[in-house]
Amino acid sequence: MIGLATMMSESSDILEKWLSVQAYKHDGRLHRQWSPGYCLEETDDYWALASKASLVIEDDGRHWMTKENAIFLLYKKAWMNVICMFKESGGICYYANIASPTIFDGGYLRYIDYDLDLKLYPDHTIKALDENEFENNIVRYGYSPELVGAIRRSFQEIRAAMQEGRFPFSDADIESMYARFLSETKPFIPHS
């Protein structure tokens, strides 16, 4: 029989694996935040969070729930993060945010959103998003030429990774991660 102390310890370990994400704009203003996701793994390169749904709160107070199961990869060194969404109609849709490397700070995973995004659809179509917002914010926030160069390089690198199906744009890898999440978060049912 499992003792109460063991159950409490396991419960505490699970709770510590749930992390919230906050996105900021270049001026330091909170842009968007997500309810906690399960930290499936942390490597030298990224945190991988998984969720069945997430509450998203926008900077203007609006809030909404995500519709899909997802894996959220937040990179520590690369200028991107990627939300891998399992579509009800089948397949995975990848939403890549061009963003500063993510840091863990004050109990949150935090990054700066740099407007430009790429979306990879299940049929392998790639669509660039928010290009006008990026161009406007270069002026609005006074992005330096070095920052603009880093953002554009990241955009091109992500597009190439999408075209080549390299991680994290690999359905098999993402499906495996999500299966692991489901296995690790099964409800605990004590045996009598």
- Catalytic annotation, residues: 32
How many residues are there in the chain? 192
Residue 105 to residues 19, 22, 112: CA-CA distances in angstroms? 11, 10, 13
Which of the 8 DSSP states describes residue 141? T
How far apart are the C-alpha atoms of 129 and 131, rounded to whole Å? 6
How far apart are the C-alpha atoms of 25 and 145, rounded to whole Å? 17
Q: Which residue has the tokens 């919230």?
A: 20
Determine how β-strand 55-58 pairs with β-strand 63-65.
antiparallel
How far apart are the C-alpha atoms of 119 and 95, rounded to whole Å? 5
